[in-house]
Structure 1
């Protein structure tokens, strides 16, 4: 299946994520872990708010989160549940998804935020990011495009930026489709060892690997881009 076909499949099942019983905490622990590897934000500017303003309850600069870059959430879906934890880390959130109906729901809830409706494999990533994530979406990427996409994502991280994605922690590469959610949906994995090899070759330092739903093969990988060596 192509990413466009996967997007159309997800257009038909948005109700699975908007129903009240959907677990809105799914993935939050992994995001908290990944964001913890980011460097501390720059120190706050000295408090320049006049004392009379503080008396009125106005926030000082030290009470405001310091912006420290952008975050790109791949396969962001419609729940926006990762937005608060990302923004609490001082990052500006952007989402991308190939499902136009998923994005329509997300954008209706957060109209001031940036969302891209595109296939991330062919999408021209507009900037470098401090944090890139792909929660329960990377396995929908066609098998032949997963390696070049991983390299592209690491390349578009800031120095010391962090990439988080979940994948199928299989021994070998493979691909299949199933209809568990209703429509036919594609899944693929390069195999855990190959993912790690690619990330290291691309200049990443593997910070965390976890089979978080054992005995299922659902696997979390967190990698941090090594700081570029400065020339003398």
Structure 2
């Protein structure tokens, strides 16, 4: 069931793009962390938003701050909304697990996206982060709090999440040359999210 639910993530978001747009909080409770992310990279830098969804509210806020944004998502129905709202930015339909753009970015963000992958697929993402970064690049992502799988529900369908142990995330970041700038478990000021902010040395 877990692997079946993991395989269904992109079709699920494709089917329910309208519901996601309706239900996704626009309160920007993520603002403090987005500001930390931008403060750690050059002004008006180039950002790769991995699992960007429909571009609201996170990509929207980053764009408002002057970044040049490339958004990647596997669900075309989500990207269509992003393209219509923010036509000046670049929006690419692609499965993050096979991403190979042949370019690097000042910042990479995977907010509430990469944690929908299986644990093995998450491990395989770290070389992908490395290929799209360079010394000085900043990476921010959200994760679970410990090793395991957690099932949620969206529009009455199973919603897959997984996480590695915090020590393994740290080890994977070290392997690709990133130092953790800040990590917070279940930040009460950010909707209970567990957030990692790292910079490539």
1:23 maps to 2:14: no
Q: How big is each residue's C-alpha offset from its partner over 1:147-187, in whole Å with a ceiling of 9 and x where there is no partner?
A: 121232033212111000011021xx222433254222211
> 2:128 is matched with which residue: 142, 152, 164?
152
Query: Which residue number in structure 2 is paired with residue 81 of structure 1?
Result: 57
Q: How does 1:126-145 map to 2 (within 5 A)?
A: 126-145=102-121
1:136-215 equivalence runs, <5 A:
136-170=112-146, 173-211=147-185, 212-213=187-188
1:87, 1:126 → 2: CA distance?
22
**Alpha carbons 2:100, 2:131 under 8 Å: kept:** no
Number of equivalenced pairs? 196
Return the alpha-carbon distance in structure 2 between the equivalents of residues 21 and 219 of structure 1: 18
Match of 1:225 in 2: 200
Q: Is the CA contact 2:26–2:56 (under 8 Å) kept in the aligned structure 1?
A: no
Counterpart of 2:100 in structure 1 is: 124
Shift of residue 91 of structure 1?
2.9
Counterpart CA distance in 1 for 2:111 and 2:143 is: 8
Deviating above 4 A after TM superposition, structure 1's stretches of 4 or more consecutive aligned residues are: none
Structure 1 window deviating more from structure 2 (96-105 vs 173-182): it is 173-182
In 1: Cα distance, 2:85 partner to 2:38 partner: 24
Is the alpha carbon distance of 1:154 and 1:75 closer, same or farther for their aligned partners in structure 2, counting shifts above 3 Å?
same
Q: Is 1:6 matched up with 2:9?
A: yes
**Residue 90 of structure 1, CA deviation:** 4.5
SS of residue matched to 2:25: coil
Question: What per-residue deviation string (whole Å, max 9, x for no partner) do you get for residues 177-227 of structure 1?
Answer: 33254222211101111101110121111001012138x86310001000x
Q: CA RMSD in A?
A: 2.4
In structure 2, distance between residues paired with 1:83 and 1:151: 23
Unpaired runs of 5+ residues, structure 1, are: 42-66, 227-232
C-alpha contact 1:169 1:191 (8 A) present in aligned 2: yes
Residue ranges of structure 2 left out of the alignment (5+ in a row): none
Q: How does 1:49-64 map to 2 (within 5 A)?
A: none
Structure 2-normalised TM-score?
Answer: 0.85
C-alpha contact 1:155 1:202 (8 A) present in aligned 2: no
